[in-house]
Structures are given as structure tokens and as C-alpha cells.
Amino acid sequence: MRVVFLGTPEFAVPTLSEIVARGHEVVAVYTREPAAAGRGMNDRKSPVHQAAEKFGIAVHHPKTLRGGEAAALFRSHVANVAVVVAYGLILPKSILDAPAQGCLNLHASLLPRWRGAAPIHRAIMAGDRETGVMVMKMEEGLDTGPVGLAERITIPENITTGELHDKLMLTGADLMGRALAALERGSLSFTPQSSDGVTYANKIDKSESKIDWSKPAREVHNHIRGLSPFPGAWFEAGIDGKPVRVKVLRSELSVGSGAPGTLLDDHLTVATSDGAVRLIEVQRAGAKAMGAEEFLRGAKIEKGAKVA
């Protein structure tokens, strides 16, 4: 089939690769425009942009898809279907209606739960036991379209957002490959989403990142792993007489009690409102990530100290 692919981050790259590997003709790739990044603030192409160039596919990165010129260019691809994976721009009706068989979106949640921008982060932060990926037919609403295929995945207790992201990324690529095969055969059917259980996965704001030790241990643990590796949950500790911000990349539930924020042992176990959380991997600003024991050798925070 003739496919237009729209995507931007690393999460979308395996799906593009899968579509190409299955022999479909990707006639164009749409992605976000290059953005300044790195120390030199040079323009950096998105992961999808880089992958498309390796495949020799024409790349477009318009600032918007609204307007007659954008719609005319999109229609000129004469695509059977468009595939959208974390693209980052709103698709107006003129674009949604352009491909003969519509636009298919790969979404990393079990819709209608966690519609929106950050479904993987939000599922872990909420303590969900299950998530998945779904292929839906896009409508003008935010992730409201009917679902064609789904794959469910259990969320282990200690998995981080980064780890779950990578698992869903590969599972989703395979799912979209199967969806396109079914669409080509004429056997892909769609089921409307339930109106019950709708939740929204708002974009993560850095103001959410500070750890609140007064919350229950499981909530603290879910907060830490839900924000790992980016943007990273953090706390402040007094080191060498100064408050130092410390990012937590990995934790686990532990035992112990004390005033919230109290260091309970020499292994970086911190008290919460109803128990404790042991910090497994941490990172000071400007330093490499390290295990708790290595961190404590340099930080010299003793048992009984308070962190904030």
C-alpha cells in the first residue's frame, strides 16, 4: 500500500522500519522541524527524520498542517493510508480525510484510559497494573477514534517509564504492521471506544518532579519510576553545608518507619507517611548516575538526616 508516515520521536522509528520491512511504499514522511539542541545549539533532525533519510524517503516538516497548501501537498501523495505515531501536530479534517482509507494512529495506552500526550508516564505514576498499545482510526477529537487492534501488557512493579516505553515501542511496531496487513486484506474492523473510564494523560510538567515524602510509600515509588529517566523525580539533601538537588532514577518499596523524609539507614532508605522507599540509583546535577552506596560515600548523608 501507499503510506504517508507522520511521527517524530524515537518511539515512532520502529513502526516506520516495520512498515518499510513489510514492503509497503512509504511515499512521504512528515515530522517536526529540526530544533536547536546540544552545546552548539545546532539544528538537530528528529529521530524519524534521520530514519527516513536512511530509507531514502522524502521528508516534510511543516510548521502546521492547516491551510489549503498543506492539504494539497498531502493529497498529492495519493496515499491509501496515513500512519501516525507521536507526530506532535494537530491533524485537521482536510488531512484526516485525504488518504483513501483514513489515518491510523498508534497510541500507547488502553483507550479510553490515558488519552493525550503522556500515557506511559501517567499509567506508571497512577500505579496501573496493565497498559498496552492500540491502533485506532483517527477522528478530530483527542484520541477518540474507534479501535482496530490492541495488545495488552502487564506493568511490573519496578519498571520505569523508560523501560516500558521501549517495550511498548517494539510491541506497537508489530501491532501496526499487523493492522496494515489486515487493512490491505479488507479485514480490519473498528470498535468505538467506551464512554466509560475516560482519563487524560496531560503532558508532564517539571513542577511535578519534586518528591513529596509525606505521601504513601507506593505513591512515592510510582512517582519516581514514572518520571524515570525524564524529567526525573528529585529531592534536596544537605551536602557539604549546601542544599543539593538529587535526581532518583530507580527505587523500590522497603520497610521502616520514621518522620517523612528521614534517612533510615546507610543504604538510602527514606521514610514516607506509611513506610519507606529505598533509592537504588541516583544522580547529582552535573554528575553521572550511580548506585546509592557510591553516592553516599561521596555525599556523606548519615542515618537520621532529613531530605526534602
pLDDT value of residue 286: 86
Whether residue 250 is contained in a domain is answered as yes
Query: For the segment 188-198, what is each residue's pLDDT rounded down to a tens digit?
Result: 999 999 999 99
CATH number at residue 76: 3.40.50.170
pLDDT value of residue 51: 98
State phi, psi for 269 to the nearest 5 degrees.
-95, 125
CATH number at residue 290: 3.10.25.10
pLDDT value of residue 40: 57
Whether residue 294 is contained in a domain is answered as yes
Regarding whether 223 and 96 lie in a shared domain, the answer is no
Given 200, 228, 243, the domain boundary residue is 200
State phi, psi for 251 to the nearest 5 degrees.
-150, 175
Regarding whether 153 and 9 lie in a shared domain, the answer is yes
pLDDT value of residue 285: 85
120 pLDDT above the threshold of 80:
yes
Query: For the segment 84-101, what is each residue's pLDDT rounded down to a tens digit?
Result: 999 999 999 999 999 999
Regarding whether 210 and 175 lie in a shared domain, the answer is no
**Which regions of 114-146 does DSSP assign to beta strands (E)?**
115-116, 130-137
Q: For residue 300, name the pLDDT band (cuts at 50, 70, 90).
A: confident
pLDDT value of residue 89: 94
- What b/e string do you get for 220-229 counting C-beta neighbours within 10 Å, with b at 16 or more? bbbbbbbbbb
Regarding whether 234 and 286 lie in a shared domain, the answer is yes
pLDDT value of residue 103: 98
Regarding whether 212 and 114 lie in a shared domain, the answer is no
pLDDT value of residue 99: 98
Regarding whether 172 and 151 lie in a shared domain, the answer is yes
Query: For the segment 217-249, what is each residue's pLDDT rounded down to a tens digit?
Result: 999 999 999 999 999 999 999 988 899 999 999
Regarding whether 64 and 99 lie in a shared domain, the answer is yes
Whether residue 221 is contained in a domain is answered as yes
Query: For the segment 133-145, what is each residue's pLDDT rounded down to a tens digit?
Result: 999 999 999 999 9
Whether residue 308 is contained in a domain is answered as no
Pairing of strands 2-7, 81-85: parallel
Q: Which domain holds residue 273?
A: 206-299
Regarding whether 181 and 220 lie in a shared domain, the answer is no
Regarding whether 171 and 224 lie in a shared domain, the answer is no
Regarding whether 64 and 44 lie in a shared domain, the answer is yes
Q: Please say whether the dihedral angle defined by the alpha carbons of residues 5, 7, 10 and 12, taken in this order, is positive or negative.
A: negative
A 10 A CB-CB count for 305 gives: 14
Mean pLDDT of 109-132: 98
Whether residue 172 is contained in a domain is answered as yes
Regarding whether 240 and 100 lie in a shared domain, the answer is no
Q: 29: burial class by Cβ within 10 Å (0-12, 13-18, 19+)?
A: buried
pLDDT value of residue 37: 67
How many domains does one find in the chain?
Answer: 2
pLDDT value of residue 62: 96
260 pLDDT above the threshold of 60:
yes
164 pLDDT above the threshold of 80:
yes
% of the chain at pLDDT higher than 90: 93
Regarding whether 152 and 283 lie in a shared domain, the answer is no
106 pLDDT above the threshold of 70:
yes
**CA 43 – CA 34 distance, rounded (Å):** 5
Q: 280: burial class by Cβ within 10 Å (0-12, 13-18, 19+)?
A: middle
pLDDT value of residue 24: 98
Nearest to 110 by CA among 126, 130, 93: 130
Residues pairing with 153 in the sheet: 131
Q: For residue 38, name the pLDDT band (cuts at 50, 70, 90).
A: low
DSSP 188-222: ---BPPPSSS--EEPPPPGGG-B--TTS-HHHHHH
pTM of the model: 0.95
Query: For the segment 42-74, what is each residue's pLDDT rounded down to a tens digit?
Result: 789 999 999 999 999 999 999 999 999 999 999
Given 179, 200, 221, the domain boundary residue is 200
pLDDT value of residue 41: 59
The overall average pLDDT reported for the chain is 96
Q: To the nearest 10°, report the CA torsion of 41, 202, 176, 94.
A: -80
36 pLDDT above the threshold of 80:
no
Question: CB-hemisphere CA count at 13 Å for 283?
Answer: 16
Q: Which helix (H) or strand (E) holds 239?
A: strand 233-239
Q: 75: burial class by Cβ within 10 Å (0-12, 13-18, 19+)?
A: middle
Mean pLDDT of 201-220: 97
Whether residue 181 is contained in a domain is answered as yes
pLDDT value of residue 35: 80
Residues 6+ apart with CB under 8 A from 7: 13, 15, 16, 29, 30, 31, 48, 83, 84, 85, 86, 87
Mean pLDDT of 115-140: 98
Whether residue 14 is contained in a domain is answered as yes
Whether residue 52 is contained in a domain is answered as yes
Given 172, 200, 228, the domain boundary residue is 200
**CA 31 – CA 78 distance, rounded (Å):** 18
